Amino acid sequence: MKLNTQTYIDIIEWDVANWQRALTYWDREISAAFPRCKALEIGGQNGGLSLYLALRGCDVVCSDVRPPTLKAREIMARYKVGARVTYASVDVTDIPFPADAFDIVAFKSVLGSVGIHRGEKGQRRAIDEIHRVLKPDGFLLFAENLKASAIHTFFRQRFVEWGHAWRYPTVQEMKTLTAQFSAFHYETYGYFSCFGRSEWQKRALSTLDRLAAPFLSERSKYIIYGYAIK
């Protein structure tokens, strides 16, 4: 199924123009892995990545620390994939499923939140738990906010409610966290859209990101997305 504009919005929710690149990347790189797989979304409050995975043919456990919202169920029903999705309350640092349970585990913008209360050790524990519940040769799909530039840090601390507490990883930290995986593939993207205060502003600034992408260093970008193989 080719995703349209509204579907991208329902999956990504915010900063859609930039973060939807993760979906395009996964479709391009690992589309053969999706049909009939068993998947787990971490941090799926409104079911965004669960919707994406269900549309790709997966049976999905949509999970969050608190039970996913009614909105998640409504979206699944609207896209007629409700039969493929179940719901659970899951702490990613202590996943209540046995080893080798899933073909795919996916998350978007989760590690920074884990780091608020549990720091780097909590982030490492989260990745270790994901590795444990993945089947051999299973895929971790990730899309995460990066630390990015000093300018990003400055503005996040002053204009983002959780900017002081959120622990944004670097690219090198992402590589270190996933060192137990047999393969790690990723792209980085985005600089300007992060500064938008509304979805309209972010969409407008994404045009600058597209033009500037060839000239930006990896360390200056604020999004990392990709996949790791157990």
Q: What is the pLDDT of residues 171-205, one digit of tens each?
A: 999 999 999 999 999 999 999 999 999 999 999 99
Beta strands 223-229; 85-89: pairing state: unpaired
In the chain, the amino acid numbered 78 is R
Q: HEC states along the chain?
A: CCCCHHHHHHHHCCCHHHHCHHHHHHHHHHHHHCCCCEEEEECCCCCHHHHHHHHCCCEEEEEECCCCCHHHHHHHHHCCCHHHEEEEECCCCCCCCCCCCEEEEEEECCHHHHHHHHHHHHHHHHHHHHHHHEEEEEEEEEEEECCCCHHHHHHHHHHCCCCCCCCCCCHHHHHHHCCCCCEEEEEEECCCHHHCCCHHHHHHHHHHHHHHHHHCCHHHCCEEEEEEEC
Confidence of residue 163 (pLDDT cuts 50, 70, 90): low
Task: Reply yes or no on whether the pLDDT at 168 is more than 90.
Answer: yes
Average pLDDT across the chain, whole number = 95
First-to-final CA distance of the chain: 27
Quote the pTM value. 0.95
Residue 47: the pLDDT is 97
Say yes or no to pLDDT of 107 above 80. yes
Is the pLDDT reported for residue 7 higher than 70? yes
Angle at 169 between CA 167 and CA 171, to 5 degrees: 170
Give the tokens for residue 204.
Answer: 């407008």
pLDDT digits (tens, 9 = 90+) for 32-70: 999 999 999 999 999 999 999 999 999 999 999 998 999
% the chain with pLDDT above 70: 100
Q: Which fold has domain 5-229?
A: Rossmann fold (3.40.50)
> Domain map of the chain by residue range?
5-229
* Arithmetic mean of pLDDT, 133-138: 98
Average pLDDT over residues 6-21: 97
Share of the chain above pLDDT 90, in %: 89
